[in-house]
Structure 1
Amino acid sequence: MIRKLLILIAAMLVATPAYADRIKDLGTFQGIRSNQLTGYGIVVGLPGSGDDNLEYTIQSMKAVASRFGLQLPANVNPGLKNAAVVMVTAELPPFAKPGQKLDITVASMGKAKSLRGGALILTPMLGADGQIYAMAQGNLAVGGLGAEGKDGSSVVVNIPSAGRIPEGATVERAVQTGFETAPNLTYNLAHADFTTAQNVAGAINSRLGAGTAQAIDAVSVAVRAPVGGDVRATLMSEIENLDVVSAEPPAKVIVNARTGTVVINSTVRVGAAAVTHGKLTVRIDEKETASQPAPFSNTGTTEKLQKSGVGVDEEKHPMFIIEASPKLADVVKAVNAIGASPADLVAILEALKEAGALKAELIIL
């Protein structure tokens, strides 16, 4: 009995390894994504920090006034220091329903110095298809500030020409995702990998039955599911919490040449190689000396002379052998033993790559 219990516990540990990832952390289901919304609007109520007499600001204000039956004469251009034209952006989350609220970002398009204290007039928010999905309006919260003196001196903190309106837009239309009626549910990995795609399909089939999931390519896994939103929601909840062992990523060495940062992932392998690292330093010393005439001489003057000394120092480093190793820790230890600076390390890695000793893709940012 005890032996059977130990075998069962061991099988459970193998079935759910500690290093497994949840399916929901490896990718997303196709069609279940956010959508970007954009609007063009007017912010009013500014304390003299608006666009002033920009032509498109005047046209926009006349269009707003016409909504309420007010027709401004064509030859009248109102001063608009208290108004500014802005672009309004928001992100519509998946399955957003009419009546739900969205946070919006408002940014000046013209020469407005600050949007602090302004209020956004009712603005339609359009999707990529040109349809209205939300309506935005509200008072701005601006984190930046600016001040200017009469002599032209000014100070600006952060960005006062942009702000946000929490829950400033109301959803008016839902995006049709086809979630309830699509023939299959398609799961897409964030990073293409044939092995991981097969592992995801295998985990789903083990839980829901053979033939339920099939890896289409290195990214997509097709899942057969009955029609109906409630049934598919339950199915997806079960699928996204399954544990899957991800495949090891391709061996890569990432070098940021601007900051000197070097990142090596765990799959990097290095073959045996001999490396020598040296540094050549050229030293130039400049000194000034004085040349004076002989004592008791009635001729000659004191002159300033330039004396230069040039020398070359070369540090001597013996050749260092890097042993072939399949472990990242050994690679890091060998590189640190050379004592190379980040700039020199990049040159060493490039040389190892060219010599065929570095079994990895070298990416320089």
Structure 2
Amino acid sequence: MRKLLCALMAALLVSTGALPVMAETMGAVARIKDVAKVQGVRANQLLGYGLVVGLAGTGDSSTKSIETMQSIASMLRTFGVTVPSSQMQSKNVAAVMVTAQLPPFAKPGDTIDITVSSMGDSKSLQGGTLLQTPLRAANGQVYAVGQGPVSTGGFVFGSGGNSQQKNFPTVGTMPNGAIVEKDVPMQFSNNGTVTLSLAQPDFTTATRIGDAINYRFGAIATARDPGTVVIAVPAEYQGDGLVGFVASLEELSIVPDNAAKIVINERTGTIVMGANVAIDSVAVTQGGLTIKISKSTDVSQPPPLSRGTTTTTTNTNVSVEEDKGNTILLPSTANVGDVVNALNAVGATPRDVISILQAIKAAGALHADLQLI
């Protein structure tokens, strides 16, 4: 009977604790489309020069912004009106630069948002209207045309010598203020392959993306480098099925991996720690030393019949107060949660935490990149 019990206990130990347990600390699950993008699919920057009219005397001055007066004269000539730029005195017009982002696969007739920024000495663009402005890309071709009322979202006023300003009245936005006139061809497949570019290059993440794709479609993906994964498009997805194939790739789930990093903003006392931060066994003492120096004035009276004189003396008093130091021991298995809980337990302020983390990093016990912003 005793032998039977011993055999059962041994079997129980083997099933519960004797076998090795493989565990991996996993992060948050993300889709491939959230950590990578398809090469060849990109936005394009557009730029244009135009005029904003209808301002209430807050436009460019004729003496300091000569280019504005010349632009007005050139515009009027297109309508058959000839006025020398030297005779222009209009303060209701401002020269502006117009910027926009042309999204990928935008088609003629689509509308995009634009930003209008004063380039002269205009005080405000509020209430103005942008005249028709061609928007060009780096190749010099026009891809959109902007026109319409400008929204600044701010105000400027003065009273009794005091002035107030909200937002930036010299910069305005125009939602859907430009119409796309020409599309930009996008080629995201090259010789039967699709290439993914990682937003944050990483060896582990690139490998996991390749493994997830190969598990779903077979051996078609190769991690060429930490920031690039090349995928051979299967024959059944060539041609019209390419868009559906890319959509299937983007929906695959992976666990991205990132280097351990702690970001510190000393101006605001903000500390952001990643999940992979690890610390070796280290002891931290947190306390303060306060030194107070004060001065007092005493009167010294001479003894009677000593023919002495009354004098004043200054005494300096020095007192030292040392707060009780709090010592915490962080084991080598400490993670970010253990660090934060331990530092909060001893009443450390964000400024104290910053100093402590810098000291731990200097001691070589913090295995993370400490970045100051």
Equivalent in 232, 250, 253 of residue 240 of structure 1: 250
Partner of 2:147, secondary structure, is strand
Matched, 1:277 2:286: yes
Structure 1 pair 59/307, CA: closer, same or farther in 2 (3 Å)? farther
Structure 1 pair 276/73, CA: closer, same or farther in 2 (3 Å)? closer
How many angstroms apart in 2 are the aligned matches of 1:156 and 1:360? Answer: 43
Answer yes or no: is the 8 Å Cα contact 2:54–2:127 preserved in 1. Answer: yes
Partner of 1:351, secondary structure, is helix
Equivalent in 339, 342, 349 of residue 331 of structure 1: 339
Report the CA distance between 1:222 and its aligned residue.
Answer: 0.9
Matched, 1:265 2:274: yes
Indicate the residue corresponding to 1:61 in structure 2.
Answer: 72
Answer yes or no: is the 8 Å Cα contact 1:100–1:170 preserved in 2. Answer: yes
* 1:85-113 CA distance string (max 9 Å, x none): 01111111110011111111111111111
Equivalent in 354, 357, 360 of residue 362 of structure 2: 354
Report the CA distance between 1:55 and its aligned residue.
Answer: 0.7
Point out where structure 1 has 5 or more consecutive residues left out of the alignment.
1-16
Answer yes or no: is the 8 Å Cα contact 2:326–2:346 preserved in 1. Answer: no
Answer yes or no: is the 8 Å Cα contact 1:179–1:229 preserved in 2. Answer: no
Indicate the residue corresponding to 1:121 in structure 2.
Answer: 131
Structure 1 pair 274/111, CA: closer, same or farther in 2 (3 Å)? same
Report the CA distance between 1:277 and its aligned residue.
Answer: 2.7
Indicate the residue corresponding to 1:343 in structure 2.
Answer: 351
Answer yes or no: is the 8 Å Cα contact 1:273–1:321 preserved in 2. Answer: yes
How many angstroms apart in 1 are the aligned matches of 2:196 and 2:96? Answer: 38
Answer yes or no: is the 8 Å Cα contact 2:54–2:128 preserved in 1. Answer: yes
Report the CA distance between 1:182 and its aligned residue.
Answer: 5.5
> 1:142 is matched by which residue type in structure 2?
T
Larger CA deviation: 180-189 vs 79-88? 180-189
* 1:19-50 CA distance string (max 9 Å, x none): 43111111211121222211111001111111
> 1:201 is matched by which residue type in structure 2?
G
Report the CA distance between 1:191 and its aligned residue.
Answer: 1.0
> 1:107 is matched by which residue type in structure 2?
S
* 1:103-156 CA distance string (max 9 Å, x none): 11111111111112211111011112222110111111221111235x654332
How many angstroms apart in 1 are the aligned matches of 2:301 and 2:240? Answer: 103
Point out where structure 2 has 5 or more consecutive residues left out of the alignment.
1-25
Answer yes or no: is the 8 Å Cα contact 1:186–1:221 preserved in 2. Answer: yes
Answer yes or no: is the 8 Å Cα contact 2:134–2:144 preserved in 1. Answer: yes
Structure 1 pair 73/188, CA: closer, same or farther in 2 (3 Å)? same
Partner of 2:286, secondary structure, is coil
* Alignment: residue pair count: 341
Indicate the residue corresponding to 1:221 in structure 2.
Answer: 229
Report the CA distance between 1:160 and its aligned residue.
Answer: 1.7
Partner of 2:325, secondary structure, is coil
How many angstroms apart in 2 are the aligned matches of 1:282 and 1:129? Answer: 68
How many angstroms apart in 2 are the aligned matches of 1:96 and 1:35? Answer: 10
> 1:126 is matched by which residue type in structure 2?
R
Indicate the residue corresponding to 2:158 in structure 1.
Answer: 148
> 2:34 is matched by which residue type in structure 1?
D
Matched, 1:90 2:104: no
* Percent identity of paired positions between Structure 1 and Structure 2: 43
Answer yes or no: is the 8 Å Cα contact 1:52–1:82 preserved in 2. Answer: no
Matched, 1:101 2:111: yes
Indicate the residue corresponding to 2:317 in structure 1.
Answer: 309
How many angstroms apart in 2 are the aligned matches of 1:137 and 1:268? Answer: 51
TM-score, normalisation: structure 1: 0.84
Report the CA distance between 1:202 and its aligned residue.
Answer: 1.6
How many angstroms apart in 2 are the aligned matches of 1:138 and 1:177? Answer: 29
Answer yes or no: is the 8 Å Cα contact 1:181–1:228 preserved in 2. Answer: no
How many angstroms apart in 2 are the aligned matches of 1:337 and 1:254? Answer: 22
* 1:282-323 CA distance string (max 9 Å, x none): 11235567889999xxx999x987654322222242654322
Larger CA deviation: 347-356 vs 57-66? 347-356
Larger CA deviation: 191-200 vs 172-181? 172-181
Matched, 1:173 2:192: no
* 1:47-76 CA distance string (max 9 Å, x none): 1111121211111112212323333236x3
How many angstroms apart in 2 are the aligned matches of 1:41 and 1:228? Answer: 45
Answer yes or no: is the 8 Å Cα contact 1:192–1:219 preserved in 2. Answer: yes
